[in-house]
């Protein structure tokens, strides 16, 4: 029996050694695998959506997770006998601007349309964030040929530093109608309603139909009564959300979303007939709340690439031109980057262009992959993998891979901005300080160096300057203010990254 025992012992040691070596090899490959992420994109996704709850206006629901916020703006619209309670404060102030709110809604919806299937538990939260906006937009468009586009006098609001819950500045209401048209804000509102109708198509068909039908009427109004809303409302909407790029881009963008939501050939005919005059092939390469040309090109290129709408062939070329303008270090690139590698468009809230561009990159990469196509830049071929890598690098910079090693998303990572330019976050909550903080009394906190008492989890700030520097000063709204349209495009990109790195 002794030789057999020795043999069995030998077999045991042999197989144990093999197991150890294979485990070590697997562990080595796992730790050196290019698909290992250095960021928790899932955590960032959760926080990017949670941010919207801190921006809510109106009567907060029992499910409200951001507890330092309370009810606010409960009589909004009453001076014109309309119900305009709800919606979002766009940034760090207490005004409801319809133009950026509609763009935020469109981008949140597009994020869910493209990447909602990857969001798992966060999908319900993303839908809630969209619905908080669309419920308000339905109120704002309840009267035919009229859109209520702003609640609050921005100049008077900015002369106070107070919590939304304490507001005592005028809640003036501003609208567009046939006498004072606003094809830009109306076109964007139509896009938002149409995009959101796709989000709710399966989970709430009747709500989806209501959104789609309202989008059709709002777009018809936008197209029939043409003009920029900042012409008639200049004193109230400028310089905050002036329509600098005109309204043509919103008409093309709105028609593109209605084509997607309704599949009605009327919108395809509209795009074919008006695309050129609405700027389809312009070389403006900035995508944000004001200029939608690039977004329309990417969206319409899907109709060609994935749905084989041959008549939209040109939009693939238009989209490629935009992508080529972004490639770092390439001779055909037209985009500036900081020494640390961040895409840099302008000093004021630059991070909005980082998040919107990253979303377009991963989304266009998805379309190209489906169609087995690439981007051609002169004699250079750019594949979808390269687009995703550029987007990932931008998101990683935002989350902390930058010269200062700071996350520009509040509450994510070990180091993030402490003094964001945000009234509600910078003043003690009602639970801590129940008595009213008067209009100008809050400026003492605004000017202090103390960290904000409320951590506005998920808020993305304007970001660093051209030299990768960030002072973290509350008074510096260009670099330290968050906004809904900064977060909205990032939701989709983070869902994609979290899924592709096995975190969802």
Active site (catalytic) residues: 93, 421, 472, 481
Cβ 488 vs Cβ 458: under 8 Å = no
Which residue in 468, 451, 448 sits closest to 416, CA to CA? Answer: 451
- In the β-sheet with 96-97, what is the strand arrangement from edge to edge? 96-97, 147-151, 173-176
Are 480 and 196 a contacting pair, CB within 8 Å? no
Residue 283 burial (C-beta neighbours within 10 Å; 0-12, 13-18, 19+):
exposed
Q: What's the distance, CA 70 to chain centroid?
A: 24
**DSSP-based three-state secondary structure for 175:** strand
Contacts 24+ apart (CB under 8 A), 438-444: 438/162, 438/166, 439/159, 439/160, 439/161, 439/162, 439/168, 439/169, 440/159, 440/160, 440/161, 441/162, 442/160, 442/161, 442/162, 442/163, 443/161
Residue with tokens 């961040």: 342
Which of helix, strand or coil describes residue 67?
coil
- Angle separating helix axes 293-305 and 351-371, nearest 10 degrees: 10
What are 306's two structure tokens? Answer: 């994935």
Cis bond before residue 155 (omega within 30° of 0): no
């Amino acid at each position: 029996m002794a030789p057999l025992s020795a043999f069995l012992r030998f077999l045991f040691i042999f197989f144990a050694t093999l197991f150890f070596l294979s485990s070590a090899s697997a562990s080595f490959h796992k730790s050196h695998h290019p698909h290992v992420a250095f960021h928790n994109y899932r955590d960032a996704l959760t926080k990017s959506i949670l941010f919207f709850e801190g921006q809510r206006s109106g009567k907060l629901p029992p499910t409200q997770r951001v507890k330092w916020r309370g009810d606010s703006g409960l009589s909004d619209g009453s001076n014109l006998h309309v119900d305009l309670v709800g919606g979002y404060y766009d940034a760090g102030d207490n005004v409801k601007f319809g133009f950026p709110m509609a763009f935020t809604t469109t981008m949140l919806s597009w994020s869910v349309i493209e990447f909602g299937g990857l969001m798992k538990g966060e999908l319900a939260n993303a839908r809630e964030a969209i619905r908080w906006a669309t419920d308000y937009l339905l109120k704002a468009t309840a009267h035919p040929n009229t859109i209520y586009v702003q609640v609050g006098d921005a100049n008077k609001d900015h002369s106070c530093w107070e919590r939304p819950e304490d507001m005592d500045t005028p809640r003036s209401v501003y609208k567009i109608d046939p006498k004072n048209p606003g094809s830009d804000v109306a076109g964007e509102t139509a896009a938002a309603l149409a995009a959101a109708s796709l989000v709710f198509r399966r989970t709430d068909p009747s709500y989806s139909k209501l959104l789609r039908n309202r989008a059709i009427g709002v777009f018809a109004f936008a197209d029939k009564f043409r003009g920029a809303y900042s012409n008639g409302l200049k004193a109230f909407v400028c310089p905050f959300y002036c329509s600098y790029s005109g309204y043509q881009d919103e008409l093309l963008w709105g028609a593109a979303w209605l084509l997607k939501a309704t599949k009605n050939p009327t919108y395809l005919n509209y795009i074919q007939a008006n695309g050129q005059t609405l700027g389809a092939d312009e070389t403006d390469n900035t995508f944000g709340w004001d200029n939608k040309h690039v977004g329309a090109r990417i969206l319409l290129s899907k109709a060609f690439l994935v749905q084989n709408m041959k008549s939209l062939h040109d939009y693939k070329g238009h989209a490629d031109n935009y992508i080529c303008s972004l490639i770092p270090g390439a001779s055909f690139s037209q985009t500036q980057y900081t020494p640390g590698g961040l895409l840099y468009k302008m000093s004021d809230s630059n991070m909005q262009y980082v998040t919107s561009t990253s979303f377009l990159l991963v989304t266009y990469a998805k379309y190209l992959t489906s169609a087995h196509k690439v981007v051609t830049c002169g004699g250079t071929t750019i594949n979808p993998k390269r687009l995703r890598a550029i987007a990932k690098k931008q998101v990683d910079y935002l989350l902390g891979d930058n010269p200062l090693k700071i996350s520009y998303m509040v509450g994510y990572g070990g180091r993030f901005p402490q003094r964001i330019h945000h009234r509600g976050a910078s003043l003690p909550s009602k639970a801590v300080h129940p008595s009213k903080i008067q209009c100008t009394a809050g400026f003492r906190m605004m000017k202090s160096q103390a960290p904000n008492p409320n951590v506005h989890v998920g808020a993305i700030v304007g970001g660093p300057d051209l030299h990768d520097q960030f002072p973290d000063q509350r008074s510096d709204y260009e670099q330290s203010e968050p906004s809904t349209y900064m977060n909205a495009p990032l939701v989709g990109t983070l869902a994609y990254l979290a899924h592709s790195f096995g975190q969802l």
